[in-house]
Structure formats: structure tokens, C-alpha cells
Structure 1
């Protein structure tokens, strides 16, 4: 594994993402945004394609400044984390039936390929999103992280979350219904 980058926190917590050889800076920008929205602790990526395109990513919220994004040679989770591959592969668990581990290292394949068998063999879990056809990489990351949030007993709900999360131009409210 390559040396960690000079970010303030390179220790993985509850959620880590590993993107195998990403090619699209737009997808990585969307993945960075998802990581911020769903409280991922770190993003690893393999391969060289993203390093060449990194300057063109669309990280509109500058999440990359707060969440470490590190190049690694091969996916590797810390000992306390379960490795979860997300891939359309026979024998995988459908996401709606999957119980997310408390500490998860999610591995996503490249836009134009699949996760290698040797990596799948190291994973404790392999899941897929049941769709017709395959999803975009960034969309898959969003769906998996949202599913984790939706199934968590720690998820908070209410107007205070909306106010803290919405765009500064959004001040709309649901009209009171007349009953």
C-alpha cells in the first residue's frame, strides 16, 4: 500500500470506500459528495486513471478537503472493518436483504469493468443493487450509502436535519394541510 496522504485523519472509522480504478472525474466528484452526505471517513482508489483526471472532478462541496482521498495499490480494510464488495455477480446478496456491518469497507468496481475475483474472495460480503441493467458507479455508491443510512438505528429525522442540510437558496416549507 502507498503511504497515506497528508490529511488530518487517515484512520478509518465506521465507513470507508474503495473505488477500483475509477476513470471518470465526474463520477469521483459525485462519490466525494456522497461521502460527505453519508459521513464516510475515507476514500481509497486504485489505478492511475483518476490521478490523471483528478483536477477535473466535480466535488462542488469540497469534500475532498475534509475526507482523505488516498491512492492505494490494492483494497485493504483495517482489521475492525468488514470488506463489502458491491458488484453484479452471481451469488451476491440483494441490497434490500443486506444488514450493513457497523464498520464497513465498501469496494466498488470500475465504470468499465468488474471487481477481480481475488478481491471478491477476500470480502466477507458481496452485495448487489437489484436493477434492470447496471447502474452508474456514482449512483451505486449513493444507493448503497443511503441504504446504510436508512437501515441505521442512529439516523436522525426532522426539520432540524433539513435546515442544516439544504442549499442556502432553499427556504420552502410544506404547506399546512386543511383538515
Structure 2
């Protein structure tokens, strides 16, 4: 069985804080890389240091064309609150996927949606921010793929100040 692959593509993100949240989600849920296009994040990131430690563990790369990352066998999945999209609870995640998210202050370009193998949305009242949406999507992928959960993960993942137990 091949190892599953997931990566995140961000269309012209503007906020280093949100990209930092995306990197953290990628680390928590096992995404292998984060890609972005546009110039807003690259300009803003120079003045914002919160994402540096996270980025050391998850590769983040600026690319000209997110569609070019769609290789044979890799599904391009757009995540957007849009008519005609599949609700996330009904979506079956591909083994190998590149999930593309729009900017915080806009939507995905039609050319990316047209190139997608699937378009999904998170059913909400109102819209979530970019980092929250990435967290929900990656959690859904993990939850639907997992056959079991290892309790020792709690010990390795919790904060050093957390010593709570369920009695």
C-alpha cells in the first residue's frame, strides 16, 4: 500500500498569522507541504516572525502556478464555500491530494476550479477563516482515514503543562 500524501495550496494569502495557522494544521494532521502563489504573504512574512519555527518542519514554497502541482495520480481538490460543491461530510478524500484554498478576502480563480477533480465546502453558518478551514479539512481527512487512534499520541502531543487524566 502506498503512503498517503496531502499538501495545501494557498491562493495569494495575505496574513502571516493565517499562514502560520495553516502550517500548524499541516504539522498536526500530517500534510507534507504548503504551497502558495501571489506576493502578499511573501512581503508580509518578512515582518512577521511567528511562522519561522513551524516552517522549519513543514516545507512552504512559493510557486507561480498552483495548477502545475497537479501531477499524475494526485487529485486537485478545491475547498470553497460555493454552489455546486460537495459538502465535506459526504466527501471521500483521495489517497494523494493537493487541497487548494482561496485567499482570506476573495475566492478561488475560476481556472483553478475548472482544473479541479473535486470541489468541497465545509457546511457552516457564515464563513470560517483560512486557517480554521484548513484545520477542519485536514481533521476530516485524518478522521475518515484512521482505523484506530493510539492513546500514546496524547502523551507526545500535549503541552508540557498539561498533566490531566480522565479518572
Task: Calculate the TM-score normalised by the size of structure 2.
Answer: 0.91
Instruction: Tell me the equivalent position of 1:66.
Output: 57
Higher relative contact order (CA 8 A, sep 6+): 2
* SS of equivalent to 1:112: coil
State whether residues 16 and 40 of structure 1, in contact with CA within 8 Å, keep that contact through their aligned partners in structure 2.
Answer: yes
1:100 to 80, 88, 93: 93
State whether residues 86 and 119 of structure 2, in contact with CA within 8 Å, keep that contact through their aligned partners in structure 1.
Answer: yes
Tell me whether 1:160 sits opposite 2:140 in the alignment. no
Deviations 1:87-127 (A, max 9, x none): 01110000000000010100000000000111100000000
Matches within 5 A, 1:7-156: 14-55=5-46, 56=48, 58-59=50-51, 62-75=53-66, 76-154=69-147, 156=148
Structure holding more helix per residue: 2
Summarize the Cα distance change of 1:41–1:120 in structure 2 as closer, same or farther, 3 Å threshold: same
Q: How many residues align?
A: 161
Q: Which has the larger radius of gyration?
A: 1
State whether residues 26 and 57 of structure 1, in contact with CA within 8 Å, keep that contact through their aligned partners in structure 2.
Answer: no
Residues 145-154 or 92-101, more deviating: 145-154
* SS of equivalent to 1:18: strand
Summarize the Cα distance change of 1:146–1:49 in structure 2 as closer, same or farther, 3 Å threshold: same
Residues 47-56 or 122-131, more deviating: 47-56
Summarize the Cα distance change of 1:130–1:57 in structure 2 as closer, same or farther, 3 Å threshold: farther
